[in-house]
Amino acid sequence: MNALRLAGAVILGKTVTTEFAFMVPGPTTNPFDAGATPGGSSSGSAAAVGAGMVPAALGNQVVGSIIRPAGYCANFAIKPTLGALHGGEGLSLSQLHLGVHAGSLQDMWSVAYEIAQRGGADPGYPGLYGPEEPAPSCRPGTLLVLETEGWAQCDDPTRAGFHGILDQLRNHGTVLLTHQDHPALEHFEKSIDRNTALCRVLCSYEMRWALRNYRDTGLLSEELCHWLEKAEQLTLDDYRQALHRREQIRSDFEALQPLGDALITLASPGPAPPLGYLAESGEPDYAFKTGSPAFNAATSVLGAPAVTVPLMGVRGLPVGVQLIGHPHTDWPLTGHANWLMDHIDPVSI
């Protein structure tokens, strides 16, 4: 906030988040359907931008808390390279990304840039690379199409809409590679198949010390207390194995860099689900009340930049397309997003 005030921004207020940016939602609803979730954890930020209340708002992502809500609320959003923007005070999680929701790519990049210039990066990180203006429109020559663990959760209309986006890209001359086209991409798809579960182990272990204090004072919801009980069962060896797995996945991701300009996938398995709907996580006793992060967990694990582009509608509700870059390609990634907005017609199913 201090960085944005120094840049001349007017701060209107604090938006609603899920409890401790985890599973328990607040009262905010989706601006396109009051009976649907806006996503989480950046529920209020996504809804405020989607409703046109503000041109931009901030959020944090550890698993899927920026990219997915942006898709549900028809926003642009950037989850920058890990550490590119200083996350401020509070919980220090190893996958914590500060990011931006916005009504335009220009506002999205401007907010991120001003934070980077005045607030800097997380300690030990070089910060956000790129000039003040977002990258000019640039057609991606080759895009790698990711299915992730989320593809199995998609309904037929969402899949059809995404294929409609891919067909347009082909017609404009962009080469699309899938896991069927290259062994390195096939290997990578397999390596990220259970990233949501990996994120749970990492976040659960790292959050325990802080949540214990709140539990002891009776300030946690019953639901989060139940989650903490399960987190307490994790051992140091569990955490070390999760860290090792994350490093392996990041190494696999590096092998993809020569294959294309960026990666493309969905921002969520479909439009925003109804309030109270429990999205399965694939693990017993774990479910998500603000939609499944299955399409988002991989980029959080990787620390890679991701941008939501509002290009789809399914059953009258927004669905986002997600562009993913390699670390520190945030700026050129906005150029590819710019090109998609200039040349790809929105698809409504």
Residue 321 lies in a domain: yes
- Residues of the chain with pLDDT > 90, as a percent, come to 85
**Quick check: 305 and 61 in contact, CB under 8 A?**
no
Beta-ladder partners of 317: 314
Q: How far does CA 33 lie from the centroid of its chain?
A: 21
The rounded distance, in Å, linking the Cα atoms of 226 and 222 is 6
The span from the CA of 28 to the CA of 217, in Å, is: 26
Per-residue pLDDT tens for 310-334?
999 999 999 999 999 999 999 999 9
Q: Assign residue 129 the CATH number of its domain.
A: 3.90.1300.10
Residue 40 has pLDDT above 90, yes or no: yes
Residue 44 lies in a domain: yes
Q: What is the average pLDDT value for the chain, to the nearest integer?
A: 95
The pLDDT assigned to 220 comes to 87
No. of helices (H) and no. of strands (E), the chain: 11, 11
pTM: 0.95
Please report how many Cα atoms fall inside a 13 Å half-sphere around the Cα of residue 90, on the Cβ side.
Answer: 10
Q: What is the pLDDT of residues 107-144, one digit of tens each?
A: 999 999 999 999 999 999 999 999 999 999 999 999 99
d(CA 112, CA 86): 10
Alpha carbons 77 and 341: distance in angstroms, whole number:
14
Whether 16 maps to a domain, the answer reads yes
Range of the domain at 128: 2-182+260-348
Q: Would you say residue 253 lies in a domain?
A: no
Q: Give the pLDDT confidence of 234-270 residue by residue, as tens digits.
A: 999 999 999 999 999 999 999 999 999 999 999 999 9
Helix (H, G, I), strand (E, B) or coil at 69: helix
The Cα 262–Cα 242 span in angstroms is 26
* pLDDT of res. 190: 97
Q: SS3 for 261?
A: coil
Each residue of 49-78: pLDDT tens digit?
A: 999 999 999 999 999 999 999 999 999 999
39 inside domain? yes
Distance, CA of 317 to CA of 161 (rounded, Å) = 12
What is the C-alpha separation between 127 and 116, in angstroms, rounded? Answer: 7
Q: 217 lies in a domain? A: no
Split into its structural domains, the chain has a count of 1
Q: Is the per-residue pLDDT at 217 higher than 80?
A: no
Residue 341 maps to a domain: yes
* pLDDT interval class at 175 (50, 70, 90): very high
Would 209 be classed as within a structural domain?
no
Separation CA 207–CA 11 (nearest Å): 29
Give the pLDDT band of residue 219 (cuts 50, 70, 90).
confident
Place of tokens 């996504």: 46
How far is 157 from 147, CA to CA, in rounded Å? 15
